[in-house]
Structure 1
Amino acid sequence: MDITTWITNHTEWADFILVGLFRKSQHSALLCVVIFLVFLVALSGNSVLIILIHSSAKLHSLMYFFISQLSFMDMMSISITVTKMLLNQVLGVSTISVPECGIQMFLYLTLVGSEFFLLAAMAYDHYMVICHPLHYPVLINHRLCLLLASGCWFLGSVDGFMLTPVTMTYPFYRSREIQHFVCEVPAVMKLSCSDTSLYETLMYLCCVQMLLIPVTVIYYSFIFLTIHRMNSAEGRRKALATLSSHMMVVTLFYGAAVYTYMLPSSYHTPQKDMMVSVFHTILTPVLNPLIYSFRNKDVTGALRKMLSVESFRKQ
């Protein structure tokens, strides 16, 4: 057996190389520090928001329960991606083993999928508040909160269990360099020597079902139609104010997801893919708690109350 045949038979389990953000940067040390600080801000902001929601009785509602779940997902998402990237930079390595890549891909897909469905559940909550306000207190209860949240996590894990094995079983006989800082499906698929067009089409259809059908087509069409039919300008203003924070989060998250999973590969470049993922994976977990806190009087009131209690205890 010659060396070419041996390499062909054994490179399937060779380690991948994550190119990451630092290799092409002239100021990698500074960039590493900035990302680490952003990482700490994201963890702190989401942790504070979760504590506020669970400690303040005024925030014990379905909407804030979903926000706490969203914050927890953001914390997990940034942890499984940024920690590996920073650790590689500190240790001076850029490799990731095939099992590590598969685990990271599965966790990332599970969290992204769970967030898809969570935002759809939040859209349902807004739909009930705006379109059926009289039925809302009767239909929405603690049991439904747990059921919807469990369903989001379950469906997200199904997404991970479906896509990860298929992606990782493709033969990778080309360069082992993943032009990314995380084992994301589109970036890994570019290394395959097989025809992945059918798989990409199925992934596109899956994303259409997860993104457009449950959220845009169903709930928001009814929500905006209800707001449009309101006779009171004050009522329309309050309804739009209730919806605005959620719409900002949906726009940020779904915009990045549409680019990553729904646009054809001809629209993608490694640089664009990494920048979109930086925005979605690193910056969005920082922005989400800011959007839901600064634009929400209940959250800011609970924060002021918690800070005043802490200052009183120190005295």
Structure 2
Amino acid sequence: MGEVEKTNHTGVTEFIILGFSEFPEMQLFLFCVFLLIYLLSVMGNLLIISTVCADPHLHSPMFFFLINLSFLEICYVSVTVPKLLSVLIAQNKTISFIQCMIQMYLFLLCTSTEFYLLTAMAYDRYVAICNPLRYTVIVNKNVCLILVTVSWMIGFLAPVLNVTVISQSSFCRSNEINHFFCDMTALMTLSCSGTSVIQTINYIDGPLFGFTPFTLTIISYVYIITAILKIGSAKERQKAFSTCSSHLTVVLLFYGTTFGVYVRPQSAYSMGLNKLLTVVYITAIPLLNPLIYSLRNKELKGSLWKAKNRKLFFFQN
């Protein structure tokens, strides 16, 4: 167990990230897996961003939101995975107190932003399917900018109180974090200051930053599905549903894993399960996001094929 230093009000000046120390013989294998996932996630989302920016036909509200989502996914993996890689391959498990607080803040920033960004995308799909004739008027450039700006502003503000309270806690039990990054729930188990304050904040933050966007997204899809079912032609119904199927898939993956981590009853809490679910939405979702949108969205898939063919033609000549 790491030595706990009594140098300031926190009780520690650095933490030790255990990562996946329960699998000592798999450290190199896990390093290769997470490195591959990280590179593919970054390259895949950069490809989405560059393709949308380069093709004027994709300069629409839906793809504007997608650019922001892809950038956010790059931030997600970049906040946590590089440190995990150093833990796995170089056994560099220490992280300073300040760096730990910054990592936790950035991670919570990304989570809160994604909640509201997915809600903005659900609203965009709701207008496109339920009010298509007025779509360009309702979801105009200014509205898109406002929705994205508000999503990012909420993301920046939402973690402030949580991080401030945790940074003022005393960590006198241990400085070993049984996780692969500075996770809030893992840090709370190390605190000897009591967790009643942070739990009260979570009871307030949960409905505001989690269930509110979730409820708005559900309401949007109730209207969307109702409108689709009213379409007479099966072909037209399929076409309408295909415009929101990519977003719906991402929503189900993201909310399913995040709620699995943070909304489970305390009696069912398991750090092993926590790490597993967190791995899914930190690494798998940013990796799957480009695949989901490129395979299920005809416009984006067509633009990607055009870009690929242009490159092949260039190299052949």
Aligned match of 1:118: 117
Higher mean Cα deviation, 216-225 or 298-307? Answer: 216-225
Residue 9 of structure 1 deviates from its aligned partner by 5.9
User: For 1:172 and 1:13, how far apart are their aligned partners in 2?
Assistant: 6
Q: Deviations over 1:10-48 (max 9, x none)?
A: 662331111102553422112111211111111111111
Is 1:169–2:168 an aligned residue pair? yes
User: For 1:226 and 1:253, how far apart are their aligned partners in 2?
Assistant: 25
Higher mean Cα deviation, 56-65 or 10-19? Answer: 10-19
Q: Deviations over 1:68-108 (max 9, x none)?
A: 11111111110110101112333322111110001101111
Confirm or deny: 8 A CA contact 1:22 1:32 kept in the other structure.
no
Aligned match of 1:187: 186
Residue 203 of structure 1 deviates from its aligned partner by 1.4
CA RMSD of aligned residues (A): 1.9
Letter in 1 for 2:159: G
SS of the residue corresponding to residue 70 of structure 2 reads helix
SS of the residue corresponding to residue 16 of structure 2 reads strand
Higher mean Cα deviation, 233-242 or 55-64? Answer: 233-242
SS of the residue corresponding to residue 190 of structure 2 reads coil
SS of the residue corresponding to residue 49 of structure 1 reads helix
Letter in 1 for 2:297: N
Higher mean Cα deviation, 75-84 or 207-216? Answer: 207-216
Higher mean Cα deviation, 204-213 or 184-193? Answer: 204-213
Aligned match of 1:200: 199
User: For 2:208 and 2:226, how far apart are their aligned partners in 1?
Assistant: 22
SS of the residue corresponding to residue 175 of structure 1 reads coil
Letter in 2 for 1:88: V
Is 1:74–2:53 an aligned residue pair? no
Aligned match of 1:281: 282
Aligned match of 1:3: none
| 1:97/1:164 CA distance change after superposition, 3 Å | same
Confirm or deny: 8 A CA contact 1:171 1:194 kept in the other structure.
yes
Is 1:212–2:227 an aligned residue pair? no
User: For 2:182 and 2:253, how far apart are their aligned partners in 1?
Assistant: 21
Q: Percent identity?
A: 38
**Structure 1 unmatched ranges of 5 or more:** 1-5
Aligned match of 2:59: 60
Aligned match of 1:230: 231
Residue 160 of structure 1 deviates from its aligned partner by 2.3
Confirm or deny: 8 A CA contact 2:243 2:297 kept in the other structure.
no
Residue 254 of structure 1 deviates from its aligned partner by 0.8
Letter in 1 for 2:96: S
User: For 1:158 and 1:204, how far apart are their aligned partners in 2?
Assistant: 17
User: For 1:11 and 1:192, how far apart are their aligned partners in 2?
Assistant: 9
Higher mean Cα deviation, 191-200 or 268-277? Answer: 191-200
User: For 1:79 and 1:140, how far apart are their aligned partners in 2?
Assistant: 31
Letter in 2 for 1:68: I
Pairs within 5 Å for 1:243-254: 243-254=244-255
| 1:272/1:97 CA distance change after superposition, 3 Å | same
SS of the residue corresponding to residue 284 of structure 2 reads helix
Aligned match of 1:269: 270
Higher mean Cα deviation, 111-120 or 208-217? Answer: 208-217
User: For 1:198 and 1:263, how far apart are their aligned partners in 2?
Assistant: 19
Is 1:24–2:18 an aligned residue pair? no
SS of the residue corresponding to residue 158 of structure 2 reads helix
Letter in 2 for 1:155: I
Letter in 1 for 2:146: L
| 1:54/1:94 CA distance change after superposition, 3 Å | same
Q: Deviations over 1:271-314 (max 9, x none)?
A: 11111111111111110100000111111111111112222222
| 1:197/1:224 CA distance change after superposition, 3 Å | farther
**Structure 2 unmatched ranges of 5 or more:** none
Higher mean Cα deviation, 52-61 or 215-224? Answer: 215-224
Q: Deviations over 1:230-256 (max 9, x none)?
A: 344333322222221111100111111
Aligned match of 2:35: 36
Taking structure 1 as the reference length, what is the TM-score of the superposition?
0.92
Letter in 2 for 1:290: L
SS of the residue corresponding to residue 13 of structure 1 reads coil
SS of the residue corresponding to residue 309 of structure 1 reads helix
Number of paired residues? 310
| 1:178/1:307 CA distance change after superposition, 3 Å | same
Residue 212 of structure 1 deviates from its aligned partner by 3.1
Higher mean Cα deviation, 137-146 or 191-200? Answer: 191-200
| 1:265/1:55 CA distance change after superposition, 3 Å | same
Segments of 4+ moved more than 4 angstroms? 8-11
Taking structure 2 as the reference length, what is the TM-score of the superposition?
0.91
Q: Deviations over 1:199-230 (max 9, x none)?
A: 32431442333333333443223222323333
SS of the residue corresponding to residue 166 of structure 2 reads helix
